[in-house]
Amino acid sequence: MAIERTLSILKPDAVKNNITGKINSYIESSGLKIIAQKMMLLTKKQAELFYEIHKDRSFFGELVEFMTSGPVIVQVLVGKNAVSKYRQIMGATDPKQAEKGTIRGDFADDISENRVHGSDSLENARKEIDFFFAEHELV
C-alpha cells in the first residue's frame, strides 16, 4: 500500500450548513491525515479552470455557479491509498445511492450539492493539489 496525497474540497453547502468538522471527523477516523487546509472563495475563472474537464457537460455552468456561491475548504489528505480511501469515505456521487456511514450518505441530499469533492486518480490528485497549494504549504 502506497502513501498518497489526494485533494478534498468541502463544498459551499458543507460550509453553509456548518458541518465541516463532522466531515473532517470522517476523514480523520479513516486514518487519513489533513496536512494542508484553507478556506477560500473561488472566482468564476478558478472554478471554470478547475472543472475544465466537464466544460462540455450539460451541468458545467450550474457546477461553476454552485462552487462560487460561497466559501469552500480545500485540503490535502495523506495516507495509505489516500485517493481510493477518500473516494470510499465520500460515497457515491448521488447521495441517494451512497451508503450510510459515508459523507454523502449521511450528509448530502442532492447530486448537485453533494458536500464534497475528491480526486478520482493519483494523476488528477497531483494536478488538483498543485492548483490550490504550493509545495511549501504541505506540512
User: Which amino acids are annotated catalytic?
Assistant: 117
* Sequence letter at residue 61: G
Q: What is the DSSP string of 16-38?
A: HTT-HHHHHHHHHHTT-EEEEEE
Q: Which triple of cell numbers denotes residue 94?
A: 448521488
Gyration radius from the chain CA atoms: 14
* Sequence letter at residue 102: T
* Helix/strand number for the chain, H first, E second: 7, 4
For 134, counting Cβ atoms within 10 Å of its Cβ (0-12 exposed, 13-18 middle, 19+ buried), the class is: exposed
